[in-house]
Structure formats: structure tokens, C-alpha cells
Structure 1
């Protein structure tokens, strides 16, 4: 059944991916009407999240942010599909870096990097970074249920010397790389809600006390990796600009969870500046009332 779904859906995705961007965004506009106005995909989740973190905003402003988010959400999904066939030249034109020397300097210093980000802007296109550096790229991800689509996503990333690994694969893969003297740059989107039984750290995120993922920080300390945050700014439709900020080159000098807390403050700055580009469809604050420690 999985293969049947794949061979039916894949040609449709491929046809979308070869559309010129002008037509792709026309398709996205239609998709917005369907998801937002007809189906109402997770509209209540988005509304509740926005009301929770922006209690002082008016209903009119909440509605404006919500609609702008859904427009961006549809764009981002189709941009991900576009990754199937987009050229390296086109990708470099649309996803640029303001200070890539920040990463290159760590590479010159023979340091591997934990690269942290939020589910913000089009964070998925960061894989083009691999065309500017020599370190091998890994991104921690949740494996897809359909093994054929899962393999497809891995193939797309592999074109750019970037590889997807599951949470269980992360430590053995990166320990092996370190023992073999291989430089790696490792992506973590750590702003979503962890499983409540694996919540070791709680703190304020957008003024709400929630459990927080700490795996990226713990890995950086274990393997002595530089910790870098990257912020994605949406310049205009289909164009993004990324800026790197080194949080620390000496992670072992920090108390547990201090690096994670710095990271979260950087995520908050992005959200406050332009909330419509954050991924509001996730139930990020669902465990806010369940702390038992």
C-alpha cells in the first residue's frame, strides 16, 4: 500500500516541482483558500496558540497574523516540493547568507558545529549551506511513516552532502564521525514540545512555562561542538536571508540548560519581530499546565 501511494502521489509532486515560481505561488494561493477558508486546517490550534502568546493583541490583529501565517505555510510546503528539482544556482539565489564566514571560521578551527534553529521561515532550505562548506551535514528528523517518501527526502538532502538521521541514530553517528576525525555540522530544530516523560528542563517560552528539548545542548557538551544559532528572515516571497550567531565555542563552560535558554530567547526575538512566519500549527504549549517537578 505504501508503494502504491508513492507511485500515485510522486508524479503529481514532481509536476508541481517543475512549475516556474510564478505559477507555483499561484498554486499556493489556491491552496491557501482551500486550507484556510474551506477545510480550516488546524485553525483552532493556530488561533489558540496566538491568543495564548499574544494576549494583548486584538482579534483583528490575531486574524491578520493567522491569515499571513497560512499564506506563508502554503508557500513553504510548495517550496519544499520544489526542492525535488530546483537547481543549485536557483537555490543559492533564493536562500542567501549574510555572514557565512561565521561557519567557515569554525571549520578552519577544525570544530564541528551544532546548528540550532526554529521552525521559522523556510528553515528547510538551509541544506544549500553544504555547497559553501566542506563539513558533512546531518539533520535530526522524525522518520516518515511511508518508507518510500522517507527515502525520497533523504535522496534530496544527499545531493547537497546533507543527511537525515533519526534521534536514535544521532549519538552513534556523530560519535563515530568524531572518532574518525570527520568535521560535521548538525541541524536541530529544537523549539517544539518534547514528550512529557522526557522533559528534563522547563522554562519560559513566550512568557509561558513549558518543557524544552535539551538534546542539542547535551550533544554539544558531550562532543565539544561549537553551538551556532541561525535566524531565517523572509525578505520577500520565495527569498530568504540567513544570519548565523555563535552562542558558544566552549559549551562545557555553561551550566546545564543555559545554552538552551539562550537559544530560546533568540527564537523569541524572531517570533516577536514577525510572528506570521512561525509554525503555529504545532501544539507547542500543550504541556504548559503539567509540570510536576
Structure 2
């Protein structure tokens, strides 16, 4: 086992009554994903619509993000998009179970991949590959699809709940060689220098530390991590974006791997943030209703500016 492996130990403590409700939820999720995929899809969308009645704060955040990014859309379009986003969010719950519990043959039956050869360019050039993953609601499934074809290094945030931390790590190790804490920048650099594929998501607002402000869609000042710039400068990897796109009419999924990016400005953090946000925008527009709009993407504001979520 690699020394960077983070694999929580399964102990008797995880069978404590405090976890019984969660165990019930895990068992329910496992049983749901045994169903035919069209049934899973219908149940997931229904779950999203049901949850929308109670998740009023997340409804506000989703609608507000869409309004901020696409101000030229009508109010009715914003509302329709928000509803589709909640349907996709409900299905994402079951897609996580699919990513963790489905056997490889079932993943490959419902999940096709385009451009897988773009991940092999790093081998021929003897360079690591920074796989630019974006927070689509299908991200867990996307990571599993890539892992089946080209196993790499997963980057994650340890869960506060010990049982969930064990489960998500176990699930993600089905398609990753090992996992790294997202704060372990040195570990990512080492892995890239060894020629590994490292999954990295630079599209969320991670707070003011190690961030700069750059345009994101119609929002002029969006806090954007400089992590991509650091990794690119220190390890000189190829930057390869991908998107796991849910197809229409219950036709499964297509994971689209883009060609390696060219012209990334490693010597200017603001220019790098602008460049990367433009790349992220292009990926989101391939399936905008499937993006994680429920996240407060613009929670960090420049000093003195009011919150955009009031």
C-alpha cells in the first residue's frame, strides 16, 4: 500500500448504535442501485423534486447562482433550470451508489468514454497528468469511469463522520491507486512528478486563502484557487479536462475527455485563474443543468463588498 494511502480502518466502533441510521441508509442505497437503470433514473429525479420542497436554502443558492451567471435569461428560465438541477441532484445520490457498488461490467454497459487516448499523452511525454475534474453532480461516477480505464490518484476531503469517511474512501479506491487529502499539495506534486494521473477540481470557492479574484461567467470577481497554477508550475503536468455527462432519455452516460490544454500561463496567478475559469465555463456549458449549482460559488467577496446571497 502506498505511503500516501489514506484508508480509515474499519473498527467495531463503526457498528455503534449512533451509526445504525446511516447503516440503514447505506443498505437502502445499495438495494436501490440493484434496480434497472431506468428505474434508478426515475426514482432519483423524483427524489430531487421531493427534496426541493424542503431544501429552501439550497433552492435559493441554486437559483441565485444561475441568476448571477446568466443574467440575460428570463426568470422563468432560471426557475426551470433550477428544477432540472434539483432533479439531477436527487439522481446524483443514486449515482454515487452506482459508482461505489456497481461492478465494472455494469459501469461499462451504461457509461461510454470519448477521448481516453488524451490521458495517454502523458505516458509518451513522460509527464504526469492533472485531470481537471469539475463539480458536476455525476463526479463520483465520472471518477469511477476513468479509474476503470486509467487508474490514478484521487484527491478528496476526509468526511467528518467516521463511517462515511470509511465508505467514501473504500468506494473511491475501487478506481484509484490511492487517495490524497486535498490539502496535501506536496503529495500531489510528488505523484505528478512520478507520472501519475491526479484528479483535481479547481472550480469551487475554497475561501480567501490561496485564491485570487477572476471572472466566472457574468460574475466579475469570483474567488478562484491558485492551486492549479502551483501544481502546473511545480510539477509541469499536462492539464486534461473531462466531463461525465448524463445522456438524455435514460441512455446512460458519456465521459468526455478533452485534449490537453495549451498555453496555460504558469507565471501569472491571475492570468492562470482567468484561463482556468474559461475552461471550466466551456465544460459546464456542455451540460449546465448537471453542474453543482447548490454550492455557494461566490461566498468569498473582496473586502468591503456585500454578500451576493443576501
Contact kept in structure 2, 1:76 and 1:122, CA below 8 Å = yes
Query: In the TM superposition, what are the counterparts of 1:1-293 in structure 2 within 5 Å?
Result: 3-40=19-56, 42-120=58-136, 122-127=138-143, 128-133=145-150, 137-172=152-187, 174-175=189-190, 177=191, 182-196=194-208, 198-208=209-219, 209-236=221-248, 237=250, 238-248=252-262, 254-290=267-303
Q: What is the root-mean-square deviation of aligned Cα atoms in Å?
A: 2.5
Contact kept in structure 2, 1:232 and 1:240, CA below 8 Å = yes
Q: Which moved more, 1:112-121 or 1:30-39?
A: 30-39
Do the aligned partners of residues 200 and 50 (structure 1) sit closer, same or farther apart at CA in structure 2, a change above 3 Å counting? closer
Q: Deviations over 1:124-144 (max 9, x none)?
A: 2233223323xx512222211
**C-alpha separation in 2, matches of 1:67 and 1:106:** 40
> Secondary structure of the residue that 1:268 maps to in structure 2?
helix
**C-alpha separation in 2, matches of 1:159 and 1:173:** 19
**C-alpha separation in 1, matches of 2:265 and 2:72:** 39
How far 1:251 moved relative to its partner? 6.2
Q: What TM-score results when the alignment is normalised by the length of structure 2? A: 0.82
Q: Any stretches of 5+ residues in structure 2 without a counterpart?
A: 1-15, 306-310
> Secondary structure of the residue that 2:25 maps to in structure 1?
helix
Q: What TM-score results when the alignment is normalised by the length of structure 1? A: 0.86
**C-alpha separation in 1, matches of 2:175 and 2:215:** 36
Q: Any stretches of 5+ residues in structure 1 without a counterpart?
A: none
Q: How many residues are treated as equivalent by the alignment?
A: 285
Structure 1 runs of 4+ with >6 Å offset:
none
